Structure 1
Amino acid sequence: MGAGMGKGTTRDLEGKLVVLVGGSGFFGSHLAQELLERGARLRVCSRHVERAYSIKPLGILGQVQLVRLDSRNERALAAAFQGADAVVNLVGAFKGDLDRLQGRGAGTVAAVAKAAGVAAFVQISAIGADAGSPVAYARTKAEGEAAVAAAFPGAVIVRPSVLFGEDDAFLNMFAGIIGRFPVVPVFAPEAKLQPLFVDDAACAVATILADFPAQAGKTFEIAGPEAVSMMDLNQRIARAQGRSPVLLAVPDAGATLFASLPGTPLSRDQLTLLKAGNTASGGYPGLADLGITARPLALFLDRWMTRYRKAGRFGKKSLA
């Protein structure tokens, strides 16, 4: 199966009921579309279920059910898992009680799924999950993986790199800053990321579910086709906008000071993770093992950055 070939080409999940826990976010909405196009029935669970309203029209009548629940409520989870063939746990956060949300909390979701007789369980973790990390996000992601494996033997762990898409909060954050300011600070300019197109990540998870017995118990690292530095990423976004801002590499001391200030968009933990980079280790199976070819950022960036150009869609494309 090539890049994105789950889209409209196969119905290998026909009639299967898949429950997405924490399914109202960016990745969840793209995964929902992939699963629906493969014929699955969906039960999308979220504390903020109103954020998933856009998913419902993607399916036919009765194909999508929205359920408001807190993933820490075992009774609500048990009710949501009734009759389910598969569960995908997408719950994640950078702040709050991370142990209850994505540490032991992930184990709770897996245990309830197992008790409900669910046959397939996929835990969405992250590249960089590390039980020894000083950063709570990375540490609890790793603890969540261990808790899931203990509660649901055979569960599949999926560690995506940074996900990008036209409607993401990643590229669009940088694009918005570059579109507004003549001088743009670049934190951790040498840090390498391996951005992955969100629809390729969705295809990977759907492919795992469609062939779950063959994939059971595995951990996948899924990442984009190239590693790019933070400076290079900002330069690419600026070129795609037809802009030439001054991209100012911020020294570590300055970045740490900025991240320590109240109200800034970058916390100290996020800076620590950024400086560590976000690339696949190569020690686990990846997209190629699922027959998927990741699509590069360059395939989309010019088109997506059109709205950020000086005259929007009527602006002259930069030849730089």
Structure 2
Amino acid sequence: MSKLVTVFGASGFLGRHVVRELAKRGHRVRAAVRRPHDAVFLQPMGAVGQIQLFQSNVRYRTSVSDALAGADACVNLVGILAEGGKQKFQAVQADGAEHIARECARGGIDNVVHVSAIGADAESESVYARTKAEGEAAMREHLGDKVTVVRPSIVFGPQDDFFNRFAEMARMAPALPLIGGGKTKFQPVYVDDIADAIARLIDGEAETGGAYELGGPEVLTFKECLELMLKIVDRRRPLVPVPFFAAKPMGQMGDLVSKLPIIQAPITEDQVKMLKRDNIVGEGVKTFDDLGITPETLDAVLPTYLFRYRKQGQFSPEVPV
């Protein structure tokens, strides 16, 4: 029998893929978003009436309670990479997660998936990483083994904020910066693989409770990621190492820029701090193997959406990867 699944953050990069996967499995989806009028694109992903848009803001507990009324399961995808307006790390990733955890516990919802991040650490100098850890702690405090925490590495896919951002920069900028010398390690993971993992956990096809760390089949440095991107978009740009001490003022400038409406900062000070630690799957944790999923490679997916950054777009000659 299909479930009613409330998905917080349903209109985001990962959210749209999770909604589509849940709908494909026959579940009814309540897409809890701050601006339903901007999430209409979700509805054609299911049958008529299968996907319901619902106005909700995790900063307000009553709003969360309304979104969870009558739900059988819950997925929390809400997170931000940079602060802006009232969207603060503490309010969204820590307090928001606690609101969801409390209301799920109060409503007797015993199937909850909470998406955090590799690197979540209560002792981190990064506010992003600290509040991710606080969100995890709140979930466990109120829900115990009824919540499954999913920690992905850097996520790639058609709407990602990593490869797309640097590919766009490569169109205009004469060079690309390598923060910290480009030595930070990533384990890029395909967005559809994460959505598949979440759906399997909601359907009880894998062990629930505890935490899964999800990374792709390849570990690459920051520099190697940019080199691969440049090869796919067929552009030559020098990669300039920027030490962390020099990247700090760049991040501070980015913080000021991010306060302006409709302007996305290239990098913030908090993101510079995050780059000081590798973002790869740890030892002795549950992974894709425990979910029965073989993750996609970068080579198989990146060319399918980065082609638009080539000089002639989709009409450019095919570039071997």
TM-score, with length taken from structure 2: 0.90
Establish whether residue 211 from structure 1 lines up as the match of residue 204 from structure 2.
Answer: yes
Tell me whether 1:184 sits opposite 2:176 in the alignment.
yes
**Secondary structure class of the residue paired with 2:245:** helix
Match of 2:213 in 1: 221
C-alpha distance in structure 1 between counterparts of 2:4 and 2:216, whole Å = 29
Counterpart CA distance in 2 for 1:252 and 1:302 is: 31
Cα distance in 2 for residues equivalent to 1:201 and 1:236: 22
**For structure 1, which segment, 285-294 or 91-100, has the greater mean C-alpha deviation from structure 2 after superposition?**
91-100
Q: 1:99 to 1:259 in 2, by over 3 A?
A: closer
Alpha carbons 1:20, 1:44 under 8 Å: kept: yes
The equivalent residue for 2:62 is 75
Question: Which residue does the alignment assign to 2:41?
Answer: 54
Aligned to 1:138: 129
For 2:240 and 2:151, locate their aligned partners in 1 and report how far apart those are by CA, in whole Å. 31
Q: What fraction of aligned residue pairs are identical, expressed as a percent?
A: 37
Which residue matches 2:6?
Answer: 19
| 2:231 corresponding residue in structure 1 | 239
TM-fit CA distance, 1:74: 2.4
- Select the residue among 140, 148, 159 that pairs with 2:139: 148
Go from structure 1 to structure 2 and tell me whether the alpha carbon gap of 1:77 and 1:305 turns closer, same or farther (over 3 Å shift). closer
Q: Which residue of 1 aligns with 2:261?
A: none
- Structure 2: unaligned runs, 5 residues or longer: 258-264
Q: In the comparison of the two structures, how many residue pairs are matched?
A: 306
Q: CA deviation at 1:144?
A: 0.9
Encode CA deviations 1:144-203: one digit per residue, 9 max, x unaligned: 111111111221111111111012222110111112233222223111111100000000
Match of 1:303 in 2: 304
RMSD: 1.7
Higher mean C-alpha deviation, range 253-262 or range 55-64: 253-262
Q: Distance in 2 between matches of 1:156 and 1:319?
A: 39
Deviation of the 1:319 alpha carbon: 5.2
| CA distance in 1 between partners of 2:297 and 2:237 (Å) | 24
Q: How does 1:1-40 map to 2 (within 5 A)?
A: 14-40=1-27
| Shift of residue 235, structure 1, vs aligned partner | 0.8
In 2 relative to 1, CA 77–252 (structure 1 residues): closer, same or farther, beyond 3 Å? closer
In structure 1, C-alpha distance between the alignment counterparts of 2:3 and 2:160, rounded to whole Å = 28
Offset from partner CA, 1:210-241 (integer Å, 9 cap, x none): 117x6232111111111111111111111111
For 1:184, give the aligned amino acid: L
In 1, are the aligned partners of 2:157 and 2:302 still within 8 Å (CA)?
no
* Contact kept? 1:240, 1:305, Cα under 8 Å: yes
Q: Which amino acid aligns with 2:234?
A: G
Give the Cα separation in 1 of the matches to 2:19 and 2:318: 34
Secondary structure, aligned partner of 2:305: helix
Counterpart residue identity of residue 285, structure 2: Y
Cα pair 1:29 1:52 within 8 Å, conserved:
no
- Counterparts of 1:201 and 1:319, CA distance in 2: 27
Q: CA deviation at 1:283?
A: 3.0
Unaligned runs of 5+ in 1: 1-13
Structure 1: distance between partners of 2:48 and 2:192: 24
Aligned to 2:98: 107
Return the offset for 1:143. 1.0
Contact 1:225 1:296 in 2 (8 A): yes
Moved more, 115-124 or 55-64: 115-124
Secondary structure in 1 matching 2:65: helix
Match of 2:191 in 1: 198
Mapped contact 2:17–2:192 kept (Cα < 8 A): yes
Partner of 1:63: 50
